[in-house]
Chain A
């Protein structure tokens, strides 16, 4: 009897559990980067698309090509835009720094 699916079910249940634990610690502040980050990670379906596009079956190649394109958009775009967002979330210097700068210029 083929028991591969039981094994995969184990993986699924444990991964869901880990995912839930890790993600419930993400503060609301970062919910949008979380969403776009997981979106980039789920672009891992690129892996499956690669196999479809690289097969010897013509129709599978064409469908795979479209799938590879879509998944690449998500992987590349997802990581880039998440990084762009996270860069903005750095702690800012105290606003008091600005008057000092202006004062320095005046004197």
Chain B
């Protein structure tokens, strides 16, 4: 190894250690920003180290790309509202996937004949996973943004076709290892990755997005790992492994929180068991308590303890600031306020936490499922802001329900439940929610933000 080569390798080692420390910082909100700075330093060291690399002979394309990419990156991160975070994450997974895939193609065109068999296989995986992550993430983005229907799109033999594409791609990578001159095979692998990304995400419903986004995160990491194997670059292997294991861990947590088996998630065909519309017929017949803001205000005035349960509906109506304002006016009246956050509330892991943090809610008032579930029985009022499945008692009682077995909040145990909901239509999953028809539940229909704001003025006017 040349002296420069040693410097490059050592810079990668330092970068890898700093990346691990960066993630370690995220174990508490206090140390997180300091940790992030370490990660940034690591990245800078790795980039400067790479520019010394002997294979780099021109800098025009590099500087152009870095300049353009940084500009776009700064623009997006400054402008994007927090409610659009899931879309941004999906979009950046798409960029990450595309980058690794294109590196794979470039590497194949430059080096195909010099690579060892192992590296050739890794290159095939890199390209396949990269393109799969690219289209899969674009599909997820489209679904989140509403460009593509959020409902599951299914057809006969779907699993069979998807598994077939996957097995076919693996077989083609095997062929490529022995016949690397067959560029049709290589581009076939790339095409299969592109197709499978689309096919695998199409059948997945909007409410299952937290699992999908975590899984795509993990694929992006694996693609980076494969790049590392193909190029013999340890920093890529380490960073890819960190990204991959974080995605894997999150998708396992998310699927556990939805009571889905992990193999079910891996084959990407969930949401198919739910038949939208099947349960909707009975809705009209049952009676529910439609309440006005005044009724809800009266309940809140008589309450000593209140728990908010936010869901995706809070993100849709951008109601997080209104939630906080209502909580603040309750607290001024001496009411104890907490927030119950379900792991799969919203469209990505931690979605609700970010939104409430944006609205200046103290993070010590945000509680996880296990920490707060026993408190509902002692609580006077629960305010559900656009959450549905995570408060559905059918998950506990009704074995025929598609969400049976999913851990949910025991909201029905509290003295009264106030549900803020746009209309009585069931959500994406089409699962009827018995909670809405219980005698201690008040349905306040309409835009959550408007309802919350009028509740605040109701509290102000009424006095004690």
Chain A residues with CB under 8 Å of chain B are: 2, 4-5, 8, 11-12, 15-16, 18-20, 22-57, 59-92, 95, 99
A76 vs B116: C-alpha distance when bound (angstroms): 34
CB neighbours (8 Å) of B89 from chain A are: 32, 35-36, 39
Q: In the assembled complex, how far is the CB of residue B354 from the closest CB belonging to chain A, in whole angstroms?
A: 5
Flag B23-56 by CB within 8 Å of A: 1 or 0 each: 1101111101100100110110011001101011
Q: A12-B237, A32-B350, A35-B348 are in contact. Are A73 and B92 (CB under 8 A)?
A: yes
Residue among A5, A32, A50, A57 having the largest count of chain B Cβ atoms under 10 Å: A32
B241 at the interface (CB under 8 A from A): yes
Asked whether, in the complex, the Cβ of A28 is within 8 Å of the Cβ of B106, the reply is no
Given contacts A34-B350, A48-B233, A67-B106, contact A29 B43 (CB under 8 A): no
Interface of A is mostly: helix
Q: Does B105 contact A (CB under 8 A)?
A: yes
Contact A45 B236 (CB under 8 A): yes
- Residues of chain B within 8 A of A31, CB atoms compared: 250, 348-350, 353
Evaluate contact between A72 and B229: CB separation under 8 angstroms: no
* A25 CA / B24 CA spacing, docked (Å): 8
In this complex, what residue of A is CB-closest to B70? A76
B-side residues, CB < 8 A to A, are 12, 15-16, 19-20, 22-24, 26-30, 32-33, 36, 39-40, 42-43, 46-47, 50-51, 53, 55-59, 61-62, 64-66, 68-70, 72-74, 76-78, 80, 82, 85, 88-89, 92-93, 95-96, 98-100, 102-103, 105-107, 109-110, 116, 118-119, 213-214, 217, 220-221, 223-225, 227-229, 231-250, 253, 328, 331-332, 341, 343, 348-351, 353-354, 357-358, 360-364, 366, 368
A5 to B234, CA, bound (A): 11
Measured in the bound complex, the distance between the Cα atoms of B358 and A71 in whole Å is: 27
Query: What are 20 A-B contacts defined by CB distance under 8 Å?
Result: A8-B229, A12-B225, A15-B241, A23-B23, A24-B249, A27-B27, A28-B343, A29-B350, A47-B46, A59-B109, A63-B106, A65-B64, A67-B99, A68-B61, A68-B64, A77-B76, A88-B358, A91-B30, A92-B360, A95-B332
Closest chain A residue, CB of each to CB of B56: A54
Q: Of B99, B242, B341, B351, which contacts A19 at CB under 8 A?
A: B242
Return the contact of A28 from the options B19, B341, B358 (Cβ within 8 A). Answer: B341
- Let me know if A30 and B350 touch, CB within 8 A: yes
- B368: contacting residue among A5, A28, A59, A62, CB under 8 A: A28
Contact call B73/A67, Cβ cutoff below 8 A: no
Q: How far is the CB of A10 from chain B (nearest CB, A)?
A: 10
Taking chain B's interface residues, is the majority helix, strand, or loop, or is none over half, making it mixed? helix
A92 to chain B, nearest CB (A): 4
CA A41 – CA B241 in complex, angstroms?
11
Complex: chain A residue closest to B361, CB-CB: A92
* A87 interface neighbour in B33, B88, B92, B232, Cβ under 8 Å: B33
Contact B109 A81 (CB under 8 A): no
- Residue in A77, A82, A92 whose beta carbon sits within 8 Å of that of B72 in the complex: A77
When A42-B243, A48-B236, A72-B73 are in contact, do A29 and B103 touch as well, CB less than 8 Å?
no
Contacts of A69 in B (CB 8 A): 65-66, 68-69, 72
Contact across chains for A73 and B95 when beta carbons are under 8 A apart = yes
Which residues on the B side are within 8 Å of A95 (C-beta)?
328, 331-332
Q: Distance (Å) between the CB of B286 and the closest chain A CB?
A: 34
Contact B116 A2 (CB under 8 A): yes
The 10 A-B pairs of least Cβ separation, nearest first, read: A72-B69, A68-B65, A31-B350, A77-B73, A54-B56, A76-B73, A32-B350, A31-B349, A19-B245, A15-B241
| In the bound complex, CA of A59 to CA of B107 (Å) | 10
> With A and B bound together, what is the CA distance between A95 and B365 in angstroms?
12
Whether the pair A41, B39 counts as a contact (CB closer than 8 A) is yes
Tell whether, in the assembled complex, residue A35 and residue B350 are in contact, meaning their CB atoms are under 8 Å apart.
Answer: yes
Cα–Cα, bound, A18→B17 (Å): 11
Give chain A residues whose Cβ lies under 8 Å from the Cβ of B29.
Answer: 29-30, 86, 89-91
Residues of B contacting A46 in the complex (Cβ-Cβ under 8 angstroms) = 47, 99
Contact (A20, B96) CB under 8 Å given A42-B240, A52-B106, A81-B80? no
User: Given contacts A49-B99, A54-B62, A64-B65, could you give 19 more A-B pairs where the C-beta distance is less than 8 Å?
Assistant: A4-B116, A4-B232, A24-B249, A26-B27, A30-B26, A33-B32, A34-B250, A34-B349, A39-B220, A40-B43, A41-B42, A47-B236, A54-B55, A63-B102, A68-B69, A73-B72, A79-B40, A83-B33, A95-B331
